[in-house]
Amino acid sequence: AQKITQTQPGMFVQEKEAVTLDCTYDTSDPSYGLFWYKQPSSGEMIFLIYQGSYDQQNATEGRYSLNFQKARKSANLVISASQLGDSAMYFCAMREGTQGAQKLVFGQGTRLTINP
């Protein structure tokens, strides 16, 4: 079963608009972590934001925020005031598992294109 689901293969957004990238996850562990990474065309993986399963507040990092809805098992990334440089692949990831057996798994990604 897919642990991380990103249902939007591609998104097209006008510059300066806000954009939400969807991510749903599946786990039975009470303790887990959720991550978003950006992969520009150059190929490197850039960490954006993290949300722990016990965190009471939604994570924010500059223009990035994570809309964490635990009951729905969703962890959507919100990018405010999008910029041309935001065009990239975006991956949602989850770390789950017990001590000594944790692994980090990724979704299939969303390709975001920012139009001028």
Partner 1 sequence: NAGVTQTPKFRVLKTGQSMTLLCAQDMNHEYMYWYRQDPGMGLRLIHYSVGEGTTAKGEVPDGYNVSRLKKQNFLLGLESAAPSQTSVYFCASSYGYGRDTEAFFGQGTRLTVV
* First-to-last C-alpha distance (Å) of the chain: 38
- Measured from the CB of residue 59, what is the shortest distance to partner 1 in angstroms? 12
Binding of residue 44 to partner 1 (CB under 8 A): yes
DSSP assignment of 2-66: -SEE---SEEEEETT--EEE--EE----SS-EEEEEEE-TT---EEEEEEETT-SS--EETTEEE
Q: Judge whether 35 and 52 are in contact, CB under 8 Å.
A: no
Please answer whether residues 19 and 13 qualify as being in contact, where contact means their C-beta atoms are separated by less than 8 angstroms.
yes
C-alpha 4/C-alpha 23 separation (Å) is 7
Q: How many residues bind partner 1 (CB under 8 A)?
A: 23
Q: Which stretch binds partner 1 (CB under 8 A): 13-21, 64-72, 73-81, 105-113?
A: 105-113
DSSP conformational letter for 80: S
Segment near partner 1 (CB under 8 A), from 19-27, 43-51, 63-71, 74-82? 43-51
Q: Which stretch binds partner 1 (CB under 8 A): 17-25, 64-72, 75-83, 87-95?
A: 87-95
64 binds partner 1 (CB under 8 A): no
Binding test (CB under 8 A) with partner 1, winner from 23, 24, 25, 35: 35
| Residue ranges that bind partner 1, judged by CB under 8 A | 6, 33, 35, 43-45, 47, 50, 52, 91, 93, 95, 99-109
